[in-house]
Amino acid sequence: MLNLPTDVWQQQLASICELGCQMEVCVDQEGQEYLWYPSEEDEFKCTLSKETTFEQWIENWATNL
């Protein structure tokens, strides 16, 4: 898990989907998927999702529109 101050954005991540409540799905240059969300400590947490690849995630998203 990566903890960052609220005014810092991890440069290696690209936001691909806003989930609401300041939660975002992001990917890195290798296609790893991350969930970016606020914490109670005035920081943002970034966690790696090992459940799906980016390709699987986008396919699931497109199928369930």
| Length reported for the chain | 65
* Type of residue at 56: Q
The Cα 11–Cα 43 span in angstroms is: 16
Range(s) of the domain holding residue 57: 2-63
Which residue's structure tokens are 């609401």?
A: 20
Q: Which residues of the chain have pLDDT under 70?
A: 1-10, 42-44, 46, 48-50, 65
pTM of this structure: 0.62
Each residue's pLDDT tens digit, 40-49: 776 667 676 6
- How many structural domains compose the chain? 1
pLDDT at 9: 64
